[in-house]
A and B are shown apart, each in its own frame.
Chain A
Amino acid sequence: MIVLADWQNWLLIVAGGIVTLAIRASFMVLPAGTRVPAVLQRSLKYVAAAVLPALIVPDVLFRELATGQTFNAYRIVSALVATLVALGTRSIIGTLAAGMATLWLLKWWGPF
């Protein structure tokens, strides 16, 4: 399915790796005492809160099937249960277990 030549794919991956490393290194490799503009610092605080939901929501609302995107009510309920557990316990394993268990229960015994 991948049509690019092999070296082009490798080039693309290396480019993605360089961009990623540059972002990760941004503040870590700055010399001590470098002043970072306040605008940038304050905006940065909200990046994770912006990107993570943008990744989560489509995966929960729609499941990509070969035929296209399908609305999935079970996933929404399971994600809500997992959110409550995450807020209440802050446990990674607890969140994962609650979300998967709810989805499996709904799939086996749910109304549709």
Chain B
Amino acid sequence: MDTPRSAFFLGVRDQAPTIPGNLTFGMIVGAASSAAGMDPWLSMGMSIIVFAGAAQLVAIQLMAQHAPAAIVVLSIAIVNLRMAMYSAAVAPFFRHLPVARRWLFSYLLTDHAFALTTARFAPDREVENCDAYYLGVTATMWCTWQLSVATGLFAGLLVPASWSLDFAVPLVFLSLAVTALQTRLHWQVALVAGLAAAATAAWPMRLGLVASAGVAIAFGAWRAFQPVAQESP
């Protein structure tokens, strides 16, 4: 990573393996909004303004069910709350940048941008050209995402339902979740979230998602503050 240019293209290369999954994901988001009867401009507007796949998908489902605006915004916030964790993790790399650049980088922050950047760089070492790398990763994601949502808006409903392409969405999250499960407590938190989500799956307006994520985060915070002695088996 000698030059900003080579760092940028390294970012593009690192992001490339995520393209098939994200392309399918974006097409499903586009198709879901078409199926919900949402105006294509509104969908593209949401894709550009919110730029967060899971939150977009949940918001489309809720808007199609005429959920109250407060529930839509609350669900978007819960689904995207993990970005606060990513923000904290990548912040040390960009502390030296002008604040306007940091706002831009915030807007571009995604699961993969966090995972790839933290895997490539360590905050205590030299982080030369980390910003160019991050831009390479996120620019690739941004273009992939907008293109795939736009394609899904018009062509998504042409794909036969029997292909079950919507299954790509949990698979993308699965590959992200596996990298997030670093300690035993992470696994326990995930287990609590999964069990709660299964038990509340039938709740209306995806309130089960809000509830199970909330319960699991509270469980993690509580366990993290117990004395270390109680954590050993």
The answer to whether A51 and B174 touch across the interface, beta carbons within 8 angstroms, is no
The answer to whether B84 and A23 touch across the interface, beta carbons within 8 angstroms, is yes
In the complex, A51 Cα to B208 Cα: how many Å? Answer: 11
CB closest chain-A residue, reference B18: A92
The answer to whether B172 and A96 touch across the interface, beta carbons within 8 angstroms, is yes
Chain B residues with Cβ below 8 Å from A19 are 73, 76-77, 80
Given contacts A16-B50, A17-B50, A39-B221, contact A26 B88 (CB under 8 A): yes
In the complex, A99 Cα to B172 Cα: how many Å? Answer: 10
Interface size class of A (residues with CB under 8 A): 35 or more
Contacts of B161-187 to chain A: CB distance below 8 A: 162-164, 166-181, 185-187
Chain A residues with Cβ below 8 Å from B135 are none
Given contacts A1-B36, A20-B50, A79-B170, contact A93 B20 (CB under 8 A): yes
Question: Which residues of A are in contact with B by a Cβ distance under 8 Å?
Answer: 1-4, 6, 8-10, 12-17, 19-21, 23-30, 32, 36, 39, 41-62, 69, 75, 78-79, 82-83, 86-87, 90-93, 95-96, 99-100, 103-104, 107
Find B220's partner among A13, A14, A43 (CB 8 Å cutoff).
A43
The answer to whether A54 and B209 touch across the interface, beta carbons within 8 angstroms, is yes
The answer to whether A93 and B81 touch across the interface, beta carbons within 8 angstroms, is no
- What total of chain B residues lie within 8 Å of the partner, measured CB to CB? 94
Find B174's partner among A36, A43, A95 (CB 8 Å cutoff).
A95
Given contacts A30-B91, A93-B17, A95-B171, contact A48 B52 (CB under 8 A): no
Chain A residues with Cβ below 8 Å from B105 are 28
B155 near A: Cβ within 8 Å? no
Instruction: Give the Cβ gap from A65 to chain B, nearest Cβ, in Å.
Output: 9
B140 near A: Cβ within 8 Å? no
B29 near A: Cβ within 8 Å? no
The answer to whether A58 and B63 touch across the interface, beta carbons within 8 angstroms, is no
The answer to whether B90 and A86 touch across the interface, beta carbons within 8 angstroms, is no
Interface string of B190-203 (1 = CB under 8 A from A): 11111011100110
B130 near A: Cβ within 8 Å? no
In the complex, A96 Cα to B155 Cα: how many Å? Answer: 21
The answer to whether A79 and B174 touch across the interface, beta carbons within 8 angstroms, is yes
B54 near A: Cβ within 8 Å? yes
